């Protein structure tokens, strides 16, 4: 396949990068982390809505740009690169999934309505939820719901008599409890006790969209960690020379570049297959595996090559380290993806 960006993809990338660059300075991010509402820069959210980026994968009839999950991934990549303090990943997962299912999209493009994906359960499998739906009423518990504290509604996975489905549940019908995370941005525990839900569609497609967008966020995280490492090793001197000149340092930095490139190519392939409506289950598992496994190698190497600066909150690298760990575990670690991939391959006819 051709990995060259189209005009639309280039426009999304450059416009998002410009907005994030203006709003996501180190000072602004640190102030947000220490605020009473971490993870939600309202001014940036308004700019994203004004630019149309909140509706990147929504149809034009709903106020969106009429693009696909591939362009949504390009947007999320930029958000990961700048550690943007907005619930853009959660919003884009839900908006893209709802658009693909032909569901109600009111308020999503202008940012006046935020829907959070509630797909994770304690010790559960995202594809086999223990939350149940009977006659449109949902019962169960969802954990680690991104942007769950700010959401107006939730995209909830549940098991039914005809297989796992996804339902739209309003905030007023659930109980929400704050969960603090290592990324300085809270998530939520959402309890459903007979909450009414509107059927959206099958779970599998929603999980695939969510997984590939988390992998796209990890790509941005790895890219920026690699860039910071390259800049630091070129300017940090030891024995009268930049440490980038030392062979061991150069080799580790090169490994970061290779790992980041691997994440990029696998994410683009999985996103393209989803955008084209082609079978993508194996490609999504592969993309998430490399995002989890290679992403961790990148940030560990970056922290090591930075020395003490790698763990200082006065320096930006720490944000990418914790984001990479969070993304690694979200919707299944590398090991979970290999198990899923093995099952898919074993089920293929000979």
Segments making up each domain of the chain, as ranges: 7-101, 115-202, 205-346
- Selected from 1.10.579.10, 3.30.70.1150, 1.10.10.60, 1.20.140.10, the CATH number assigned to the domain covering 205-346 reads 1.20.140.10
Q: pLDDT of 113-145, one tens digit each?
A: 999 999 999 887 888 999 999 999 999 999 999
pLDDT score, position 1: 61
Over the chain (350 residues), the average pLDDT of each successive run of 10 is 86 97 94 88 96 97 96 98 97 97 96 97 88 96 96 97 96 96 93 97 96 98 97 86 87 96 97 96 98 97 92 91 96 94 90
CATH superfamily ID and name for 115-202: Butyryl-CoA Dehydrogenase, subunit A, domain 2 (2.40.110.10)
Mode of pairing for the β-strands spanning 153-160 and 115-118: parallel
User: Going by CATH, does the domain composed of 7-101 fall within 1.10.540.10?
Assistant: yes
The answer to whether residues 141 and 121 touch, using CB atoms and an 8 Å cutoff, is yes
The neighbour count for residue 27, using CB atoms within 10 Å, is 8
Tell me the pTM.
0.95
């Amino acid at each position: 396949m051709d990995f060259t960006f189209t005009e639309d993809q280039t426009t999304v990338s450059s416009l998002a990068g410009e907005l994030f660059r203006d709003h996501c300075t180190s000072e602004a991010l640190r102030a947000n982390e220490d605020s009473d509402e971490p993870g939600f820069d309202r001014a940036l959210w308004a700019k994203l809505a004004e630019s149309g980026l909140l509706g990147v994968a929504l149809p034009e009839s709903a106020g969106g740009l009429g693009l696909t999950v591939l362009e949504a991934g390009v947007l999320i990549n930029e958000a990961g690169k700048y550690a943007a303090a907005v619930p853009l990943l959660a919003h884009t997962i839900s908006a893209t999934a709802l658009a693909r299912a032909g569901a109600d999209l009111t308020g999503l493009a202008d940012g006046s309505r935020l829907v959070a994906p509630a797909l994770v359960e304690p010790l559960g499998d995202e594809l086999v939820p223990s939350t149940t739906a009977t006659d449109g009423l949902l019962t169960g518990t969802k954990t680690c719901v991104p942007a769950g504290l700010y959401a107006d509604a939730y995209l909830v996975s549940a098991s039914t008599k005809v297989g796992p489905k996804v339902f739209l549940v309003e905030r007023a019908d659930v109980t929400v409890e704050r969960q603090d995370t290592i990324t300085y941005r809270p998530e939520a525990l959402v309890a459903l006790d007979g909450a009414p839900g509107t059927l959206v569609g099958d779970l599998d497609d929603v999980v695939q969209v969510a997984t590939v967008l988390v992998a796209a966020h990890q790509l941005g995280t790895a890219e920026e960690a690699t860039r910071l490492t390259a800049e630091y090793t070129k300017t940090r001197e030891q024995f009268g020379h930049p440490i980038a000149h030392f062979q061991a340092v150069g080799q580790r930095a090169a490994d970061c570049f290779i790992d980041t490139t691997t994440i990029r190519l696998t994410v683009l392939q999985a996103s393209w297959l989803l955008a084209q409506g082609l079978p993508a289950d194996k490609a999504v598992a592969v993309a998430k595996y490399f995002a989890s496994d290679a992403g961790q190698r990148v940030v560990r190497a970056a922290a090591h090559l930075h020395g003490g600066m790698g763990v200082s909150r006065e320096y930006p690298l720490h944000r990418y380290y914790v984001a990479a760990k969070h993304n690694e575990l979200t919707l299944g670690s590398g090991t979970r993806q290999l198990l899923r991939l093995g099952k898919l391959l074993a089920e293929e006819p000979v």
